[in-house]
Structure 1
Amino acid sequence: MMSKSPRYLSLLMLAATAIGAQAEAIDDPYVITNRSPFVQIYGLPAAQSAQLAAAGSSSAGLQLDISNNFTEDNKGREAIFIDGETHRANIQFRYGFSEVLELGIDVPYLSHDSGSLDSVIEDWHDFFGFPDGGRPDFPRDQLQFSYARDGQVLSSVTSSNDGIGDVSVSMAYQLSQSDTRQWALRSAVKLPTGDADDLHGSESTDLSLGFNVSDQGLLQNYNIALHASAGAMWMDGGEVLEELQEDFVLYGSSTLSWQATSSISLKIQLDAHTAFYDSALTELGDDSAQLILGGAIRLGQSWVLDLAVSEDIAVDTAPDVVFHIGIKAVAW
């Protein structure tokens, strides 16, 4: 198998070819969602600004998420074991088709493996007083994403793998905008391009529709910008735990961004969604919430760099820790 590093470098170089003369606002939400191996295979939309690309202009981004997972549970007829790391690189393009219409595409590339961050995560949990959830009772740095019911294994990944995920195409409509507030309607279709057996995709076609609002005026005396979104997603029959899969999921996000300087902002974001599965297990059947903390740095005139860490505040419904890096360039 080829090393992942050259592949990620190639993705970075591809995104770099799309640099324009002006960087996106450094207060934009983090482009991240729940990276649980049984959730990220669906088309759950990431938070976005309600400010669309200007007519005739384009934007590009590359996001890399490194998620470390560990949880195990047995309830009644069901059992789940999630232990391993997932690297997810996503190339994102947006194009302003008109004054009020934006078109986009997201192309993810995923890799599941045993990883090497278990000791780092355990030290992280010890330092902040977070629960380890049984990590010390199992060997470090192994890979097993599995679900069983009535003793029958219905989904299992135990060997390292990598490949393209499910591609999403999107459209956004500018409902209204002013100098300090924007409203947008965003929709997306996630296509079944990823392999369900390797948990690169769900083999379902997902449709999402949501409202986004961005406000730079309400707390402008404190240099704080606000973003919020809410919506619903419909999923047709997939091939990952299809008998448990819900038909609809509700999702929402809120972001506070404090612009400390003209080049640095500090951001806090809360993402949440309802359960994707009808299951007694917390990992599958409970509503989820993640807290993302970090900041953004403007790098000259052309780049914005996002750095963040995500924690599962609804414990066991999302990865223990996700390290997020995002690079954005806009307006060419």
Structure 2
Amino acid sequence: MAVIRFLKIWVVGGSALICSTVVCAATAPLAVSNLSPFSLLRALPEQRTAQAPVGLQWELSGMIANHFVVQSAAAEMLYLDGQTDRLALSLRYGFANDWDIELTLPWLHHSGGFTDAGIERWHKVFGLPNGDRDRYPKNHLRYELNGQGQVSRLERSTQGLGDIEVALSRELLGSDSAHLAASIGMKSATGSTQQWLGSGTTDIFALLRFSGRYPDDGPLYWHGQIGTTWAGESPLLGDAQRRTLWFTGLSVEWSLTSAWSALLQYDAHSGISRSHLAPLDQTAGMLSMGLRWRASEKWSVDFGFSEDVVVETAPDINFLLNVRVALDP
């Protein structure tokens, strides 16, 4: 598909391009999701600024994620080898001063990908563990969970619309240096379970977001969130799937100049299943880093990537792309 080829052209090469615009403060977290084939089935909202937008804001965001996990324990087996691409269009509209509504339309693509060789070279150059990658075929697709009363398997490339999300937020507190907002939302069951594009069930989530600046006129911006998801029963996840999940995150942006910033971000969520397999049972953790070039008050460009700091609970590496444009009200 043309949009997937476009995404690959810009991301390959060890860095990713992310564009974003934030009203007023021109600051926002990186657009990061856990694209592990099972975690992406759940409604685990990305971080964003707590400040309500003025008028309409649209965002085109993309990620390329490389997976490699082979584990077995007790009567369970997990095999994840492949690449997941996600391209999502989000529309966010601010109204009545402190309210906003957001709609997210994701497009997913599972395949063998093209990043295995580059990641193996990266591990070799920096002396990082390779997880026996060299013993398995390169650019191969196989996602499989066997156990917990469930056998789920994907061995052919798929692409299509994922689960659509809608959220309603209200800014509860706001000042020149700090903002607090509450949000509720729903993930629908629009994605195909047979193609691993959706969970086949509806999830509901609620969360608090906060944003601030330190000192009041200083170079440090921060954002965070904490929330809960009440998930439906997915046919892909087996009998031991967790139906109540928590998620949290913290993002820091250091303004180096009027145009450039450095970003550091951490995202975490509870394990997807009560499993003997650590990638499904453990708390997931991702660390992201990036540079932001602020072209104007309306848009900016970020370069960044993320890693699974809690090993195998998230993709080995993510490359990120995000375009966000704020339109005049």
Query: TM-score higher than 0.5 here?
Result: yes
Distance, in Å, in 1 between the alignment partners of 2:103 and 2:76 is 37
How many residues were matched structurally? 317
Q: CA deviation at 1:3?
A: 4.9
Q: Specify the alignment match of 2:172 in structure 1.
A: 175
Q: Is the 8 A contact 2:173 2:181 kept in 1?
A: yes
SS in 2 for 1:277: coil
The match for 2:56 among 31, 55, 58 is 58
Q: Specify the alignment match of 1:227 in structure 2.
A: 223
> Residue by residue, what CA displacement relative to the aligned partner does 1:10-42 show, whole Å, maximum 9, x if unpaired?
xxxxxxxxxxx9867543001212110111121
TM-score, normalised to structure 2, is 0.91
Q: Is the 8 A contact 1:50 1:212 kept in 2?
A: yes
Q: Specify the alignment match of 2:244 in structure 1.
A: 248
Q: CA deviation at 1:297?
A: 1.7
Distance, in Å, in 2 between the alignment partners of 1:135 and 1:6 is 25
Q: Specify the alignment match of 1:265 in structure 2.
A: 261
> Residue by residue, what CA displacement relative to the aligned partner does 1:67-119 show, whole Å, maximum 9, x if unpaired?
00001001010001100001100111100121121001000000011011101
> Residue by residue, what CA displacement relative to the aligned partner does 1:40-79 show, whole Å, maximum 9, x if unpaired?
121111011111112xx01011111000000100101000
Distance, in Å, in 1 between the alignment partners of 2:215 and 2:241 is 40
Q: Specify the alignment match of 1:213 in structure 2.
A: 210
Distance, in Å, in 1 between the alignment partners of 2:292 and 2:26 is 6
Question: Structure 2 matches for 1:102-251, cutoff 5 A?
Answer: 102-149=100-147, 154-218=151-215, 220-221=217-218, 223-251=219-247
Bigger CA drift: 157-166 or 237-246? Answer: 237-246
Extract unaligned runs of 5+ from structure 1.
10-20
Aligned amino acid, residue 52 of structure 2: L
Question: Structure 2 matches for 1:12-31, cutoff 5 A?
Answer: 25-31=25-31
The match for 1:327 among 311, 314, 323 is 323
Distance, in Å, in 1 between the alignment partners of 2:126 and 2:26 is 28
Kindly indicate whether residue 93 of structure 2 is the aligned counterpart of residue 71 of structure 1. no
Task: Give aligned-pair identity as a percent.
Answer: 28
Bigger CA drift: 316-325 or 33-42? Answer: 33-42
Q: Is the 8 A contact 2:111 2:158 kept in 1?
A: yes
TM-score, normalised to structure 1, is 0.90
Extract unaligned runs of 5+ from structure 2.
9-20
Q: Specify the alignment match of 1:284 in structure 2.
A: 280
Q: Is the 8 A contact 1:290 1:318 kept in 2?
A: yes
Q: Specify the alignment match of 1:13 in structure 2.
A: none
SS in 1 for 2:43: coil
Q: CA RMSD in A?
A: 2.1
Kindly indicate whether residue 314 of structure 2 is the aligned counterpart of residue 318 of structure 1. yes
Q: CA deviation at 1:328?
A: 1.1
> Residue by residue, what CA displacement relative to the aligned partner does 1:295-321 show, whole Å, maximum 9, x if unpaired?
222234532223211100000100000
Distance, in Å, in 2 between the alignment partners of 1:176 and 1:23 is 17
Bigger CA drift: 125-134 or 208-217? Answer: 125-134
